[in-house]
Structure 1
Amino acid sequence: MENEASVLKAHLYQLEEKLLKSEIRTSSEELQSLLKDDFFEFGSSGNIWSKSDFMGQEGAGAVKMKLSHFDMHQLSDDTVLTTYRIFDEDKVEHTLRSSIWKCTNGRWQMFFHQGTRTKGD
């Protein structure tokens, strides 16, 4: 059981890191695959976003961010909360992040995301 959890944690870490890559964030096809249809986000900017907001030409936008302090919290067999910190190199800004991932038909997709500004590590 512990090994399954560590494998899942590593997989979700990879998915979170993938969503930080500019080539993924600007690809409607990639975002379509990674975000659930009913996805929504409370952004660190105070804006509320839905999946459809990211389906345009620029997608979710290019960023230069570093992820740290990643952790996973199992909510149910098919639902997981991930928490971590981000340093945005462009904005020189730190945020606390949380995501809810749901597994449907063996595929993990992000259902919810929130970013909260903080003063640093």
Structure 2
Amino acid sequence: MNVNSIKNELLQLEKRLLEPEVRSSAKELSKLLADDFFEFGSSGKIWSRKEGLSPNGIGVVRMQLSDFDIYPLSEDIVLTTYKIFNEEKMQHSLRSSVWKYKDTKWQMVFHQGTPIV
């Protein structure tokens, strides 16, 4: 894959993680989040896939994604960066994710949200 196709694919995956039907489904989330996934949330909470994934997913929120970019770290690991606007909290945050390509698919292994103050 070339950088543009990787960027497009990862943008679509990041957008999927904002969709209510994905966020409310542990089954759908488990396809996108690696077994060893962990997050430093914008709330300051740290959670792992095992701790954070309930049968009802991770909760539905209304967010807008902008300023998306990628930074390849190796052939199969990519850092994504972007901004999120949480429509419910009326809060902007900076986001970064680390994605790993394994077994013919991308999975998120790390995510961080940092509020913009």
Look up the equivalent residue of 2:21 and give its one-letter code: E
* Structure 2 residue aligned with 1:96: 94
* Structure 2 residue aligned with 1:37: 35
Q: Equivalents in 2 of 1:57, 1:28: separation in Å?
A: 5
Q: Equivalents in 1 of 2:86, 2:33: separation in Å?
A: 21
3-state SS of 2:14 partner: helix
Q: TM-score, normalised by structure 2?
A: 0.96
**Which residue, out of 49, 73, 91, partners 2:71?**
73
* Structure 2 residue aligned with 1:47: 45
**Which residue, out of 61, 66, 81, partners 2:59?**
61
3-state SS of 1:56 partner: coil
Alpha-carbon shift at residue 73 of structure 1 (Å): 0.2
Query: Structure 2: where are the runs of 5+ without partners?
Result: none
3-state SS of 1:67 partner: strand
Q: Equivalents in 1 of 2:54, 2:87: separation in Å?
A: 24
3-state SS of 1:91 partner: coil
3-state SS of 1:76 partner: coil
Q: Equivalents in 2 of 1:82, 1:99: separation in Å?
A: 5
CA RMSD of aligned residues (A): 1.0
* Structure 2 residue aligned with 1:24: 22
